[in-house]
Amino acid sequence: MTQTVPPTTASAGQIRELVDQVLSAGSLPPIVQAGHPALRQCAADFDGQLSDDQLGRLVEVMRQVMHEAPGVGLAAPQLGIPLRLAVLEDQYDIDPAAAALRNRSPLDFLAILNPRYTPVGPGHASFFEGCLSLNGLQAVVARPETVLLEYATPDGAAERREFSGWQARIVQHETDHLDGILYIDRAQLRSLSSNAEYAAHWAEAGITKAREGLGFDDGPAGISLG
């Protein structure tokens, strides 16, 4: 089944208004949850809708929201803003054995505009994944192990950078948000677990125990999005 994701209908002026609401709120904005239209539409490319000051302040607010959640990434649509902007950062201290199995290494803070990724090579890795916009749930997602990301920085520089392992997973998850895709669209749905049940039964670095206990494959799954 192929599903076409609709583009955002928000104009540049409406996007500015949404950003102004976030910046003037006086407190950190909430993270919107599944069902919000911004999460199911292709976000608008950034092409100067915001001033440099607005963009810089929005990036900082997104970073604070990501840290407060806490998470390792946040996309603008998760604040209800349909703009191709995301922030990434992974500095969490985890068990060395789990880090090695997941190929997880620290990722310094990065703000990306208009990102697009391309898989590099045939390899995939399958692990449990969660999302700040689907509170309390996790599921196994098979993702390319290495991707090439093309993006712009907030100061306008065009960049191309290769990411592997858990960093590649973060890049793909957040970029997918900008295309109206949630991780459950790519997940093995038989693996879907509440955080409590995951902690009780499947909390290990890999997915072997969960795959056998819940009866799912570990390859790519979900609908084709075009």
Of the candidates 202, 221, 223, the one whose C-alpha atom is nearest the C-alpha of residue 142 is 221
Alpha-carbon distances of 140 from 11, 35, 81, 127, 129, rounded to whole Å: 36, 21, 27, 5, 6
Which whole-number Å values give the CA distances from 44 to 11, 12, 62, 171, 179, in the listed order?
Answer: 9, 9, 17, 18, 9
Q: Enumerate the known binding-site residues.
A: 131, 173, 177
Active site residue 174: yes
- Helix/strand/coil for 170: helix
How far, CA to CA in Å, does 67 sit from each of 90, 176, 216? 10, 20, 32
Q: How far apart are CA 23 and CA 104, in angstroms?
A: 33
Q: Cβ of 115: how many Cβ atoms within 10 Å?
A: 22
Both tokens of 4, joined, read 């076409």
Catalytic residue among 174, 197, 204, 212: 174
Q: Which residues are annotated as a binding site for Fe cation?
A: 131, 173, 177
Backbone φ and ψ of 14, nearest 5°: -70, -35
Residue 156: CA atoms inside 13 Å, Cβ hemisphere, count?
Answer: 5
- Rg of the chain over Cα atoms, rounded to whole angstroms, equals 17
Name the residues annotated as catalytic.
174
